[in-house]
Amino acid sequence: MDKNQLIQIFNKEDIGEVFFNEPMKNHTSFKIGGPADVMIVPHNENQIVKAVKLCRENNIDHYIMGNGSNLLVRDGGMRSAVIKINEGFKDIEINGDRIICQSGALLTAVSRRAAEKSLTGMEFANGIPGTIGGAVTMNAGAYGGEMKDVITKVRILDRNNNIKEYTNEEMNFRYRGSRVVDEGLIVLGVEIQLKVGDFEKIREKMKDLTHQRTSKQPLELPSGGSTFKRPTGYYAGKLIMDSGLRGLRYGGAQVSEKHCGFVVNVDNATCKDVLSLISVIQKTVRDNYDVDLEPEIKIIGEDN
């Protein structure tokens, strides 16, 4: 579908901000990716529903993204509508020991708001760069905590444009997966149940986790977070390090010297650079340890 057709379709409805031929590298923490044919940034639930409905009615593929913190977009970009649920949809409401937030709210913001109210249970999320919607989708976790531990309800838009609420038990949470992935759902909002705790202890725990992240992870360089899922019985970063791949570089992409579980963008890397390096890592680890490393980052888009 050409640009004029897209303009006709997406400029006739109140669906938020609309951009055409938008570089995806400006919307991902990897700083990589070709242009999306159209990007929509809705500011309320109604606009999200309208945008998705427009795509479905016009047979336009659509992709839902949040903060772009675990995305690797191919160099040819996206021949689809990208609906970015982030800055415009980030309200956080605290009622006692419960938090209700929109899916565009940043995990770090929710964690810090909880801490301000002396609520414990979200400390693990401080420093994770994604949105609540993305965290629910992938059941994000770190340092012994996961989203499934604190979520009570999830508000979603299903494939038939119906808004529903699912309980924690109905969400099929598992390691880096959920019902959202299984059924192509769109997260609109989340209810979180925490416990009242000691403010100083909460603050100290968050401070300690922040120190662990900043001292061990290459946060100063663009990346998509942990590149690989943790293989059963192993740690991906250790397997990569023990294979002698620390600092290995392909084009502008490099195995982080600080933490081998991260592939980082050190010099205007292309998606092709990253994928080539990932392929070398996977083959080397497989040859050395008979372990298959599965990417944790989401790889989307078209080749050039």
Residue 194 and residue 98 in contact, taking contact as beta carbons nearer than 8 Å = yes
**131: nearest Cα among 27, 38, 22:** 27
103, 111, 223, 226: which is the annotated catalytic residue? 226
Is 98 known to be catalytic?
Answer: no
- Residue 95, classed as helix, strand or coil, is strand
176, 178, 191, 223: which is the annotated catalytic residue? 176
- Residue 195, classed as helix, strand or coil, is strand
Q: How far is CA 303 from CA 82, 171, 239, 275, 300, in A?
A: 17, 33, 29, 11, 10
Bridge partners (DSSP) of residue 189 are: 102, 155
Q: What is the largest CA-CA distance in the chain?
A: 57
**71: nearest Cα among 301, 297, 263, 303:** 297
**Range 5-13, long-range pairs (CB < 8 A, 24+ positions):** 6/37, 6/38, 6/60, 6/81, 9/54, 9/58, 9/60, 10/38, 10/40, 10/51, 10/54, 10/81, 13/50, 13/51, 13/54
Is 296 known to be catalytic?
Answer: yes
Residue 222 and residue 230 in contact, taking contact as beta carbons nearer than 8 Å = no
Q: How far is CA 23 from CA 20, 27, 43, 102, 129, in A?
A: 9, 8, 20, 26, 20
Is 243 known to be catalytic?
Answer: no
The CA radius of gyration of the chain, in Å to the nearest whole number, is 20
13, 45, 257, 296: which is the annotated catalytic residue? 296
* Contacts of 228 by beta carbon, 8 Å cutoff, 6+ apart: 236, 261, 281, 293, 294, 295, 296
* CA pair distance 200, 87, nearest whole angstrom: 30
Active site residues: 176, 226, 296
